[in-house]
A and B are shown apart, each in its own frame.
Chain A
Amino acid sequence: MTKWGMTIDLKRCIGCQSCTMACKTHNGTPAGIFFRRVVEKEFGTYPNVRRTYTPVNCMHCDDAPCVANCPAGVFSKRDDGIVEYDAGKCYGARVCRMVCPYNAVSFIEKIEPYDGEAFIPPEKYWYEKYEAGTAVKCTFCADRLADGLKPACVKTCPTEAMAFGDLEDPESDVSRLIRKRGGQPLHPELGTKPNVYYLS
């Protein structure tokens, strides 16, 4: 059985936000909604300053708090490991936003045009699949996976910082990278068993 997972090489990430843009372009998310972000942090004092970039998206946890705590059953875990959502069931409790340790669930308060005045034709097309007042999140581009393609963020990354594949297959790129580089998930101490591993 396939179990999809991702690795993110922090040494390769240059913080260009290409993955953020690829995600927005592919998913056509409304203004202010991001399924993926590259979180930045600068620390130290001049001249010893360091800036870190950490791409963050849904970790598709095995023990996903959003799946367990959503009272309406919006989130569910697929056999291939993807945590998918059905926005049609969402009534806006927003408990998913409280319990997700990765700030990976977005809530569409309202759908507005980017220029603040009128929707341009692509926006009208993209936003048809979203409904204001519902929760949304990354699905590892499940529609692309169904077509045999990799997630848009993985495909786009100019430094090939990300790998995507079957965690159950010991010979897949992700399994080999996790073994070789000692990949670790974000906040393993929370016990959510994420399926996105970071290489540092």
Chain B
Amino acid sequence: MTNATEQRVERLPVGAGWIPDSFEAGFLRQRDWRLWEVLSFYFGGLGTGLYVISALLDSRASGDAPRGTIVGMILGFLLVIVAKNGSHLMASTHPAKALRSMSRPGSSWISRGALAIFIFGVFGALDIVVRLGWIPGDGETLGWIFAIIALASAFVVMVYIGFVMAEARTIALWHTPLLPVMYLAFSLVLGSALATGIFNLAGIEYDTALLRIILLVTIPVTVFLMLAHLSFLGFSNQAARLSMQMLTKGEVAASYIGGVLVVGLVVPLILTAAAYGADGAARWVSVISAVLMVVGGYLFYSSLFRAAVFSPVVQPGARSVAVVP
């Protein structure tokens, strides 16, 4: 046995049934999607969330002059178009062929997501241009059309990755209809958090009360979804229970329970509620809670990848391959 193999075996949790190679029946961990995939999904959620929340705040702002909240829309747009697409290209082994990702929208959620990103890139840019007043004449009707298409495509970008992952039938952690809803909820939380942080740091005027209400609604909903997801895992198959153990007691627990649930959601919720109706110091409280949520969001995206476990191709101990209880 080589040193590398010895080290790999030593890291395996005792009794968990992990396998060192693919010639022995057992539970396999997801190893194909790593940092760049996490970043691409994270930037997608962060960017579209920021764009949607900023667009909402911008629509409620008054005055003909360009509003400061449009900065959030531009930043959200760039996060999707530059950071998300850039991460996708870094994750690809043949980036020159990446345009092929749009070739199967009839059956592939990745293709649908790629098309949604393309549409968002076109109509998001047009929406921003209209809001900046760079189109001569009355662009109100056009602006509404661009905004609706951009927001609809942003919504698809928020959720499509949940559908991609839910297609993995033997990864019980992912194979649930809750996943797209969780990604939608996290996207809105991250967008609201980043908007709060940016607007407060840059001194941009915005509807403070509305953004706080959005956070006070979306954070508890997200916490509820996370707990519901964990509960369902407990009643699912053995691979699901292994994932749940990793998320709650194992090597990903510090990240998922500590980082995402407590630091990324519960603490910001308390801070946001405490800052409600207050000014002055509330600005810095908002910035701190925004930073916590943005960091917690990243940990959410990475934890779901790290804790993914494939059910065994051949059930350990089964005498017949056909029976999977």
Contact = CB atoms under 8 A, between A and B. Distances in A.
The number of chain A residues touching the other chain, given as a range, is 35 or more
Contact of A73 (B95, B103, B316): B103
Contact of B322 (A91, A186, A190): A186
B103 A71 contact: yes
Contacts of B93: 90-92, 132-134
A39 interface: yes
A101 B324 CA distance: 13
Interface string A6-24: 0000100000000000000
Contacts of A161: none
Contact of A41 (B33, B102, B314): B314
B92 interface: yes
B101 A71 contact: yes
Interface stretch (B7-15, B78-86, B167-175, B219-227): B167-175
Contacts of A40: 23-25
A57 to B, nearest CB: 11
A172 interface: no
B39 to A, nearest CB: 15
B23 A71 contact: no
Contacts of A54: 25, 313-314, 321
Contacts of B97: 72, 89-91
Given A43-B316, A69-B108, A186-B313, A91 B100 contact: yes
Interface string A171-194: 000000000000011111110000
A93 B22 contact: no
B322 A93 contact: no
Given A39-B25, A54-B25, A107-B32, A93 B110 contact: yes
A103 B32 contact: no
Given A98-B30, A98-B168, A132-B93, A89 B314 contact: no
A60 to B, nearest CB: 15
Contacts of A187: 170, 324
B164 interface: yes
Interface residues of B, number: 48
A197 B256 CA distance: 41
Interface in A54-102: 54, 56, 65, 67-73, 89-95, 97-99, 101-102
Nearest to A95: B110
Contacts of B169: 65, 99, 101, 190
Interface in A86-126: 89-95, 97-99, 101-103, 107
Contacts of B170: 101, 187, 190
B165 A98 contact: yes
A34, A97, A134 pick with most chain B CB within 10 angstroms: A97
B28 A103 contact: yes
Interface in B200-251: none
B25, B110, B111 pick with most chain A CB within 10 angstroms: B25
A186 B321 contact: yes
B322 A184 contact: yes
B167 A98 contact: yes
B22 A103 contact: yes
B168 A91 contact: no
B60 interface: no
A39 B314 contact: yes
A68, A72, A73 pick with most chain B CB within 10 angstroms: A72
Interface string B127-167: 00000000000000000000000000000000000001101
A97 B104 CA distance: 17
A10 to B, nearest CB: 7
B324 A70 contact: no
B322 A71 contact: no
Given A134-B93, A200-B321, A71 B114 contact: yes
Interface in A143-200: 184-190, 198, 200
A13 B93 CA distance: 38
Interface of B: 22-26, 28, 30, 32-33, 91-98, 100-104, 107-111, 114, 164-165, 167-171, 174, 310-311, 313-314, 316-322, 324
26 contacts: A39-B22, A40-B24, A40-B25, A41-B314, A43-B316, A50-B319, A54-B25, A54-B321, A68-B108, A69-B108, A69-B110, A70-B104, A71-B110, A72-B100, A73-B104, A91-B94, A91-B95, A92-B94, A95-B110, A98-B32, A101-B170, A101-B311, A103-B310, A103-B313, A189-B324, A198-B322
